[in-house]
Amino acid sequence: ETGVTQTPRHLVMGMTNKKSLKCEQHLGHNAMYWYKQSAKKPLELMFVYNFKEQTENNSVPSRFSPECPNSSHLFLHLHTLQPEDSALYLCASSQLTGTAGGHEQYFGPGTRLTVT
Amino acid sequence: AQSVSQHNHHVILSEAASLELGCNYSYGGTVNLFWYVQYPGQHLQLLLKYFSGDPLVKGIKGFEAEFIKSKFSFNLRKPSVQWSDTAEYFCAVNWGGGFKTIFGAGTRLFVKA
């Protein structure tokens, strides 16, 4: 397996459910990202992890909870979501040098989430 | 606030036509600039990037982009498009090497065979 993988690819959940999205990168990168891609809106950064430490939380509601157990794996735990949270959730990774960011990112295929 | 604007949401061209997609960002300083492409059914991938040096950068598949600092612009160009260039194109800007990269809303390009 190469690149960035995401599971599941599709997820339908009710507003009272709890589910998790998983991302794994096979590139040896040290930073990982969660983005939300909604129709007709720019890609929205949700969270950034650098060396397993969260460095960005872009004012994301607490019903989204990230977890980064190591530099290769990233999870997004979901609970009590709203219908407007339906979107494509993308994971990405990059290789940072020192403490600087700004490098190109490698994206996974995304998880298409539908909240009913 | 930092923002990235892409001028066209939808572009339709015939094969062999020239392409230019506009991208402007909100304010200056040191920037890292990117164009990403998402082909139908595929994931986002890097098309080209600018960090420093020659403001005219070349990417994959014959694409190029020009960084004009005075205009806060990073327009994407291709002299002759092909049907296989049908995709959505995203401009992205990172300011000062921070962890946050801002993406534009994307431009959907459809190339007629």
- Residues 61 to 100 of B: which have CB under 8 A from any A CB? 90, 92, 94-100
Mean pLDDT, rounded, for A55-81: 90
Residue B79: CA count within 13 A, CB half-sphere: 2
A90 CA: distance to closest CA in chain B (Å): 9
Q: CA-based diameter of chain A, in Å?
A: 43
Indicate whether A27 pLDDT > 90: yes
The pLDDT value recorded for residue A102 is 61
A101 pLDDT band (50/70/90 cuts)?
low
Nearest partner of A68 among A50, A56, A80, judged by Cα: A50
Q: Average pLDDT over chain B, rounded to whole? A: 93
B108 pLDDT band (50/70/90 cuts)?
very high
Extract the runs of DSSP E, i.e. beta strands, from A8-116: 10-13, 18-25, 31-37, 44-50, 53-57, 64-70, 73-79, 87-94, 106-107, 111-115
The pLDDT value recorded for residue A98 is 56
DSSP letter at A100? B
B53 CA: distance to closest CA in chain A (Å): 16
- Residues 81 to 110 of A: which have CB under 8 A from any B CB? 90, 92, 100-110
Indicate whether B28 pLDDT > 80: no
Indicate whether B112 pLDDT > 90: yes
Mean pLDDT, rounded, for B28-49: 91
Extract the runs of DSSP E, i.e. beta strands, from chain B: 4-6, 10-14, 19-21, 23-25, 31-38, 45-50, 56-58, 64-68, 73-78, 87-95, 101-103, 107-112
- pLDDT tens per residue across span B62-85: 999 999 999 999 999 999 999 999
In terms of CA atoms, which chain A residue is nearest residue B44? A107
Q: Report yes or no: A45 at the B interface, CB cutoff 8 Å.
A: yes
Cα→Cα distances A17→A8, A66, B61, Å? 15, 17, 44
Indicate whether B89 pLDDT > 90: yes
Contact between B89 and B77 (Cβ < 8 Å): no
Contact between A25 and A34 (Cβ < 8 Å): no
- Kindly report the length of chain B: 113
A78 CA: distance to closest CA in chain B (Å): 23
